[in-house]
Amino acid sequence: MARSRRTELAAVTLGVLGLAAAAAATTTAPRLVFARHGERVAERGLEALRAEVAPEAVRVLEPYEAREAGFVAMPFAAVLDAVYGEGWRREEEILFTCSDGYQPTVPVQRVLDHRAWLAFERENQSFTIRKRESGELKTVELGPFYLVWENLLDAKVRQEADYGWPYQLVGVDLIRTRDRFPGMIPSVDVSSPARAGFRAFRVHCSKCHKVNGEGGGIGPELVASASPLAYRDPDYLRAWIEDPARIRPNTRMPALNPALPDRARTVDEILAYLEAMRNGR
């Protein structure tokens, strides 16, 4: 993609995200902005969505609290059908934007293979969770929307913990990785561990961290000159990814999912990817 096209796409996407944040901040009714490839498609308030997709009561194993919880929610696939038509099913990825700058992605195929719901109310209590952040147990608001997944019977989703559970959700965008994150993609000649590390980075890290200016806005950039990779040795970085609270008890960064199979190898692969990107690969 030419630099001018990247700049144009980034500007359009920022406009969509800004509109999403403004919609959440300036109205009392919860609202979502829907986009496709950075172009705004629709905006829906809760009542409009409820009129199109019937809510239902669902129970899940809440990953942040590690206990069963009930929510009132709409089937997410049905919400996407109502907004985009069935064309969303042929897209590559879904980028979620939350009001605090958190930007996770999930493959469209995950929504097709597993059951997700767009929650807007928690049964028998306020729409909040109790979550440990920066070393303290805090009450966190979930609104305007929270994406939850069937994981009581789905062992694979349960093993993936909080992957794909964005809360304070204000924006949904159907994207292609090569268009939305061109500066994050490694070159074709990187090592196999670095390629695997890129896939792991997208799942576990890019929701909070940027590479070459692309990714979430909560954590630091990981490839630019101020990157921690420039002044921390690999053993420190490995320990930090595995369990950052052991090094800095009040950090906001969570440990890499403890239930992840081959967890140590995944850490090494993420570091291989970041090192390749630092070397211009």
As a residue count, the chain comes to: 281
pLDDT tens sequence for the chain (281 residues) = 333 444 444 444 444 445 444 444 444 577 999 999 999 999 999 999 999 999 999 999 999 999 999 999 999 999 999 999 999 999 999 999 999 888 999 999 999 999 999 999 999 999 999 998 777 889 999 999 999 999 999 999 998 899 999 999 999 999 999 999 999 999 999 999 999 999 999 989 988 899 998 988 888 888 876 667 777 888 999 999 999 988 988 888 889 988 888 899 999 999 999 999 988 76
Domain boundary among 129, 159, 178: 178
Q: CATH no. for residue 149?
A: 3.90.420.10
Instruction: Tell whether 52 and 150 lie within a shared domain.
Output: yes
Q: Are 101 and 90 in contact (CB under 8 A)?
A: no
Instruction: Tell whether 173 and 193 lie within a shared domain.
Output: no
pLDDT at 230: 72
Domain boundary among 147, 178, 209: 178
Domain boundary among 158, 178, 198: 178
Instruction: Tell whether 61 and 138 lie within a shared domain.
Output: yes
pLDDT at 14: 46
Instruction: Tell whether 23 and 132 lie within a shared domain.
Output: yes
Instruction: Tell whether 98 and 225 lie within a shared domain.
Output: no
Q: CATH no. for residue 261?
A: 2.60.40.420
pLDDT at 281: 67
For residue 32, give its domain range. Answer: 3-178
